[in-house]
Amino acid sequence: MNIGQASKASGVSTKMIRYYESIGLVRPADRTDSNYRSFGPCEVNELRFIRRARNLGFSVEEIGKLLSLWRDRERPSREVKAIAQSHVADLDARIAEMQAMADTLRELARCCAGDERPDCPILADLAEA
């Protein structure tokens, strides 16, 4: 399986596969005689794992930890849960922050006529708040 096929099978772009290898997130792939990367089902599974973790918003650093726990059949689930929970806390904090922004802006927009007149509470707020 070359990199293009591994990409299709895993849903990770070829660019990203090379990048993950370059930063050490995955082990360097085997090479064919002509220096092409060669992937087996095991490597493709790892790439899929990475893609799913990215879809859940984990950083590459967190994924590194999750991967090594995944590879370790003796890992305590406690460690995985801790990473997940800290990530959830992180997500929640960012959600709350953005929610506050959206609420403020919605309120300002609600008070804005939104017509041809220049009076605008949104700009007034940005200028003087």
Partner DNA sequence: GATAGACCTTCCAGTCATGGGAAGGTCAAG
Partner DNA sequence: CTTGACCTTCCCATGACTGGAAGGTCTATC
List the x/- string, 17-46, binding to a second copy by CB under 8 A. Answer: ----------------------------x-
DSSP for 26-92, please give it.
Answer: SPPPEE-TTS-EE--HHHHHHHHHHHHHHHTT--HHHHHHHHHHHH-TT--HHHHHHHHHHHHHHHH
Helix axes of 41-55 and 60-71: crossing angle, nearest 10 degrees = 140
Q: Using an 8 Å Cβ cutoff, are 47 and 4 in contact?
A: no
Size of the site for DNA (CB under 7 A): 21
The smaller minimum CB distance to DNA, of residues 56 and 109, is found at: 56
The smaller minimum CB distance to DNA, of residues 35 and 77, is found at: 35
Is 85 a binder of DNA (CB under 7 A)? no
Tell me which stretch binds DNA (CB under 7 A): 9-17, 65-73, 85-93, 121-129.
9-17
Whole-angstrom Cα distance, residue 50 to residue 102?
A: 31
The smaller minimum CB distance to DNA, of residues 60 and 100, is found at: 60
Binding site for DNA (CB under 7 A): 2-5, 13-16, 18-19, 29, 32-37, 54, 59-61
